Amino acid sequence: MIVGIDAITYGVEDLELCRRFFGDWGLAPSGDDNFETLNGCEVRIRHKDDPALPPAMEPGSTLREVVWGTDGKVLEPCLDPNGLALRFRKSRKRKVDVKGVPINTWDHAARVDRRSAFYERAHPVEVGHLVLFSDRLAEMEDFYGNLGFLVSDRYPGRGVFLRCTPEGGHHDVFVLQTPDSKPGLNHVAFTVRDIHEVFGGGLHISRAGWQTQLGPGRHPISSAYFWYVHCPAGGLAEYYSDEDWVTPAWKPREFEPKPEVFAEWAVAGGLKPFQKK
């Protein structure tokens, strides 16, 4: 069974810029142009013309390979219908002792005599999901379905949210087909420990000079809080937290694509931090 994203490789135009971005994003360096999240999920950057890279699904800086972690079985490398290279390995991600801060609600004081969290910056726990543009939505759903992915929700004819484990986060891959879609990367999403780290990370990356596309905001479909930033390695990078946790009892729903279905609310271009820098 596929259990999650173990490693991703970007092919990029400007390595130096990407090194700076992923440092500011909160990943730890783990060797030459390799970075990792807290649980050991790898993010590698290579020059886009590196002959060792698999072919690109779109021009420019983009995702070139995804390594899916499994619980033991190793499948043959392949290309998905978008032309994105996939490999598989027994997951090398570590269990980490990372705790979010409880939120006090009307009915339950989960945090007593204890201040909440204020993060100076984010340290992503893992790469949680990918969002891909495609011009062959049905083929992508079949292909990932054959790998064992389950449908969590759908925009019929327009998009499908897929998860790799019957119980887990709402989606590991979202495939989006718009009338003029070509295969490509929309974003890579990095899971942080709680909503406060979404805000702390977004404010830090803004102070470091990177441009927010949209965020913070909240998705009605997965309930997650998000913050999307333009990523020099390709597409957008997202911090997110508090997505729905689903089990085999979850019934896939169908939605019509509308702005209010994408976001309950969102700040275009980001927030201005009050700290001076």
Which residues would be at the binding site for Fe ion (CB under 5 A)? 189, 238
Residue number, 46 or 130, with CB nearest to Fe ion: 130
Least gap, CB of 7 to Fe ion (angstroms): 18
Q: Which residues of 115-140 are buried (b: 16+ CB within 10 A; e: fewer)?
A: eebebebbbbbbbbbbbbbbbbbeeb
Selection from 184, 193, 237 nearest residue 214 by Cα: 237
Residue number, 24 or 238, with CB nearest to Fe ion: 238
Least gap, CB of 73 to Fe ion (angstroms): 27
Residue number, 127 or 189, with CB nearest to Fe ion: 189
Least gap, CB of 55 to Fe ion (angstroms): 25
Closest residue (Cβ) to Fe ion? 189
3-state helix, strand, coil in the chain (%, to 5): 15, 35, 50
Helix (H) or strand (E) holding 18: helix 15-25
Is 32 buried (19+), middle (13-18) or exposed (0-12) by CB count in 10 A? exposed
Residue number, 7 or 185, with CB nearest to Fe ion: 185
Residue number, 162 or 189, with CB nearest to Fe ion: 189
Residue number, 15 or 263, with CB nearest to Fe ion: 263
For helices 195-207 and 15-25, what crossing angle results, to 10°? 140
DSSP sequence for 58-100:
SSSSEEEEEEEEESS--PPPEE-TT--EEEEEE--PPP----P
Least gap, CB of 132 to Fe ion (angstroms): 11
Which residue is it, tokens 């949210």? Answer: 161
Least gap, CB of 249 to Fe ion (angstroms): 23
Which residue is it, tokens 């404010």? Answer: 203
Q: Are 227 and 270 in contact (CB under 8 A)?
A: yes
Least gap, CB of 111 to Fe ion (angstroms): 27
